[in-house]
Amino acid sequence: MPDHIPEKTPANTAADMAAKTANHRLGPMRCPVSLADVDLFGPGAQEHWYEAYPILHREAPVLVLPGEGLDGTGDAFVLTRYADIEQVVKDPERFTPVMSLMVAELQAALDRGESPPPDAARFDLALHSACTLRPTLALWRAHRQELTDPWVGPGAKRHSKMITRVADELIDNWINRDDGDGKGTVEFIDEFARPLPQIVMARVLGLPLADLPRLAAWGQAQVAQFVYGRGHMNQLSAEETAEQAGRIKGFAEYLAGHVTGKRARPGDDMISALTQIHYKALDRKLSDAEIIGIIYLMVLGGLETTQYALEEAAQLLCNKPARFRELRSDTGKIRAFTEECMRLRAPTQGLSTRVTTQDEVFQGVRVPAGSILHIRFAAGNVDPQQYPCPYEFDIERKSPGSHLSFSQGPRTCPGAGISRLEQVIAWERFCARLDGLEYADGNTFEHQSGIMLGTLALKLRFSKAALPDQP
Ligand code: HEM
């Protein structure tokens, strides 16, 4: 059964349509029926992204945004075909990541003896750290292999027990609720999907749980650009940028204290490991500033993304109760379930993140060298040329992890390992401890603004399993 709609797909479930109709009423933007109506970036666009994608695939698989190129010159181009996106993200030499351009710009400024403005968020410690630790593709790979993979990439498996414990403790907080009919109500985002990645990342990094409220606030300050930024580049005004940098500044000081402490007395956590490691690729230790830069990115990338993946997956379960029954009866399907959810509801819908180094042609559209490409991961995931019946939820799909939600190629998301693990464990614990999950009354399904796909709240009703399995 389809969970995202488009016209010409007749077999929507009543629950799917109820949810979507609510969304449509909320967005100030009309549901697009033709290309002229499509605006992926305006206020309320979130409510209609999945109606826009089939229109784009049919009529403008490369959408030109006139005058919205880099630095306000030239055009920007939105790629929506899977094959185009795959080609671009797998070839960082031909399609330069924007971050590499910023690193080069920073390096040139430093070489000229200029000190970047301290309040400019784009010249923050994460960029400095990228500048010194991974200015080239080879060093980018080494950075991942040596510094992040052991903690948030393939090595994340070491956190399985911890993640299971965190998930169970969160469930403990509400599992015994009873509304008087044998079922309880939970605010799924506040009471599970948001705290899970927050607590997990704090534990991975080795930061005290008592600091969670502050860490969450810094995390929110970091993602502000992707929530409140305008246009395809998520731009903030100069005042907003300065304000954001100010809010994040306290974070650097806070982390500096922990880095110093852990250098002297290392524990079993990622920050401690970074203070001790001999970074083979550069044959040296890491500076405090470099470690803080790495941690910044872990917090920026590691919180809301996984929250939204969990929240959208919960909706896909509630849309069709048989799905939860299927997972409970065969928990081996949970991994495929999470991948299909991320394919169908990409948490990061798109990023303006690559620049062409030579003239290109995509789908017959000429794209000059130096053009910014908005990579629409979510649209690539529902490209009918890649996936048969792309809007249908199909847990049996071949290559379930082939979606673009984490991107692909050498610059793919370094935190995919831990995010996947959190999602799988979360649903394993739900399957073990609940025997039913449904929407509660009062959901508006209103999405938050910005480039992430996620609702602001999600109230669910659950029934507790009679004989819960032990983890
Ligand atoms: C469902 C969860 C997640 C999604 C959908 C997601 C998606 C993405 C995407 C699309 C990119 C851009 C890659 C490119 O430009 O080719 C990215 C980059 C990144 N992600 Fe994730 N991500 C998720 C979870 C995480 C987690 C848990 C972490 C950290 C623990 C993380 C850390 C990062 C970082 C640091 C980058 C920038 C790349 C770099 O500096 O090396 N992400 N992510």
For ligand 1, the distance from its centroid to the CA atom of residue 30, given in whole angstroms, is 31
Closest among 24, 29, 78 to 350, alpha carbons compared: 78
Q: How many structural domains is the chain composed of? A: 1
Q: Look at residue 225 and tell me whether its pLDDT is greater than 80.
A: yes
Encoding tokens for residue 154?
Answer: 């393939």
Q: What is the pLDDT of residue 28?
A: 56
- Ligand 1 atom nearest 354 alpha carbon: 15
CA 350 to ligand 1 center in whole angstroms = 12
Is pLDDT of 284 > 80? yes
On whether residue 273 sits in a domain, the answer given is: yes
Provide the percentage of residues in the chain whose pLDDT is more than 70.
91
- Could you identify the residue written with the tokens 């480039």? 451
Q: How far is the CA of 323 from the centre of ligand 1 (A)?
A: 28
Ligand 1, atom nearest to 422 Cα: 27
- Tell me if 306 CB under 6 Å of ligand 1: yes
Report the separation in Å between the CA atom of 297 and the middle of ligand 1, taken as the mean of its atom positions.
9
Q: Is 305 in the pocket of ligand 1 (CB under 6 A)?
A: yes
> What is the distance between the alpha carbons of residues 437 and 315, in angstroms, rounded to a whole number?
10
Is the Cβ–Cβ distance between 377 and 348 less than 8 Å? yes
Q: Is 419 touching ligand 1 by the criterion CB < 6 Å?
A: yes
Do the domain assignments include residue 276?
yes
CA–CA distance, 225 with 234 (Å, rounded to integer): 6
- Structure-block tokens of residue 87: 């080609």
Q: Is the CB of 297 under 6 A from ligand 1?
A: yes
Atom of ligand 1 nearest to the CA of 418: 27
Q: What's the confidence (pLDDT) of residue 465?
A: 95
**Residue 300 Cα, ligand 1 centroid: separation in angstroms?**
9
**152 pocket-lining for ligand 1 (C-beta < 6 Å):** yes
Q: Write the CA distances from 65 to 75, 76, 260, 409, integer angstroms.
A: 6, 5, 47, 26
Minimal-distance CA residue to ligand 1 atom 9: 406
- Rounded to 5°, angle at Cα 179 from 175 and 181: 105
User: Higher model confidence: residue 264 or residue 122?
Assistant: 264
Task: Name the band, by pLDDT with cuts 50, 70 and 90, for residue 107.
Answer: confident
3-state SS assignment for residue 277? coil
348 lines ligand 1 (CB under 6 A): yes
Distance between CA 215 and CA 305 in Å, rounded? 16
* CA 205 to the chain's CA centroid: 19
Q: Is the pLDDT of residue 3 over 60?
A: no
pLDDT greater than 70 at residue 83: yes
**How far does the centroid of ligand 1 lie from the alpha carbon of residue 388, in Å?**
27
Distance (Å, whole) CA 180 – CA 183: 7
pLDDT over 90 (residue 440): yes
Q: What is the pLDDT of residue 434?
A: 97
- Does some domain include residue 89? yes
Report the nearest-CA residue for atom 43 of ligand 1: 413
Q: CB of 309 within 8 A of CB of 347? A: yes
The domain that holds 429 is classified in CATH as 1.10.630.10
Closest residue (by CA) to atom 11 of ligand 1? 413
Q: Whose CA is nearest to atom 36 of ligand 1?
A: 413
The answer to whether residue 429 is domain-embedded is: yes
CB of 381 closer than 6 angstroms to any ligand 1 atom: no
Q: How far is CA 342 from CA 39, 305, 328, 378, 400, in A?
A: 23, 11, 20, 9, 10
Residue 26 pLDDT > 70, yes or no? no
Quote the pLDDT of residue 224: 83
The runs of H, that is alpha helices, within 303-439 are 304-319, 321-329, 334-344, 377-381, 416-433
Ligand 1 near 298 CB (within 6 A):
yes
Residue to mutate, 85, 194, 413, ligand 1, most ligand atoms under 8 Å from C-beta: 413
Tell me whether residue 4 is in a domain.
no
On the question of pLDDT at 247 being above 90, the answer is no
> For 303-349, what is each residue's pLDDT tens digit?
899 999 999 999 999 999 999 999 999 999 999 999 999 999 999 99
C-alpha 148 – ligand 1 centre gap (Å): 12
Ligand 1 touching residue 417 (CB < 6 A): no
Ligand 1 centroid to residue 406 C-alpha, Å: 6
Task: State in Å: Cα 453 to ligand 1 middle.
Answer: 15
| Cβ(52)–Cβ(7) below 8 Å | no
Distance of CA 134 to the CA centre of its chain: 22
Residue 2 lies in a domain: no
Residue 193 lies in a domain: yes
Quickly state the pLDDT bin for 56 (edges 50, 70, 90): very high
* Residue 437 Cα to ligand 1 middle (Å): 29
Joined tokens for residue 170: 């969160």
Selected residue with higher pLDDT from 36 and 108: 36
With respect to residue 356, please indicate whether it lies within any of the assigned structural domains: yes
Per-residue pLDDT reduced to its tens digit, 154-167: 999 999 999 999 99
Range of the domain at 81: 14-464
Give distance in angstroms: CA of 122 to centre of ligand 1: 17
Tell me the DSSP string of 48-78: GHHHHHHHHHHH-SEEEETT-SGGG-S-EEE
